[in-house]
A and B are shown apart, each in its own frame.
Chain A
Amino acid sequence: MRTLEPWVGPPLDSFLSESSARLVLLMTSAGQVVAQHGFARSLDVMAASALGAGIVASTAEVARLMGEPDFGALVHQGGGHGLFISAFDTPRGRWIALVVFGEDTTVGLVQLFFGRMCAELAAAAPAETPRGPVLAENFEHDLNASLHALFGR
């Protein structure tokens, strides 16, 4: 498991051990990755985060057409793997979770411990420190620092 910010670690670690999820991606609603578990390649993370953010945006639009405020979560159940995607609010804004789970767990367990992780993240989030402007000269350094935090390289 790798996270950009250390306070995300304990709630995510607890979720992983309780739910037996295989892959987890936490990202902002813009698709910026905050934490990941189980992904070996940065390309896979980038693809999954872009697709996950797209799915959430699409379903939010379908909800709007149906007159629903929001869909809580989206589950795809395959033969051997299931996919759980949900947007949730944190003190740092709206985040998206993409969870892949196998036959050794159930969507009910994933949902149950996902709800607990959201509550723990909300409680663990420190007060946000003001960020400086994003400057072009810092962009590559910041990007490399994020990739190093998420992939250790």
Chain B
Amino acid sequence: MTDIVVTLDRVSAIRGVRGAMLVSASDGLVIADSLMDGVDGQAVAALASSLMGRLRRTTQAAGMPAPEIMHLKAERGSLLAVPAADDVLVVAVTTADANLGLARLEMLEAARALV
């Protein structure tokens, strides 16, 4: 559990990242999180897992491989989600000016570490 917390802290320490969490992909429940105040972890977990599930079914129906990363860009920020092993998602919420490249790299690294 300590390793997971360290991994999440590393993602959430990146400039502009408002929080990172591990989410159960099939349940949409939070496994572990490192969030700033004002981020509704339960809502983010539930909606991110739902989006990723629909995206996976969409790519499957289109004959494409499963998505490696989901980047939902909004006016005031982004939602990033990366599937990891054992039905787990690494999810991050960022501001609009976040260092998204570094966030994506750290999230992919975190997902690999969970395999």
Contact = CB atoms under 8 A, between A and B. Distances in A.
B45 interface: yes
Interface stretch (B8-16, B25-33, B59-67, B95-103): B25-33
B47 A111 contact: no
B49 interface: yes
Interface of B: 23-24, 26-29, 42-43, 45-47, 49-50, 53
B49 A106 contact: yes
Interface in A92-136: 105-109, 111-112, 115
A111 B30 CA distance: 12
Nearest to A109: B46
Interface residues on chain A, size class: under 10
A108 B42 CA distance: 7
Interface of A: 77, 105-109, 111-112, 115
Contacts of B50: 105-106, 108-109
Contacts of B45: 108
A106 B42 contact: no
Residue of A77, A105, A108, A115 contacting most chain B CB atoms (<10 Å): A108
B51 to A, nearest CB: 11
B49 A111 contact: no
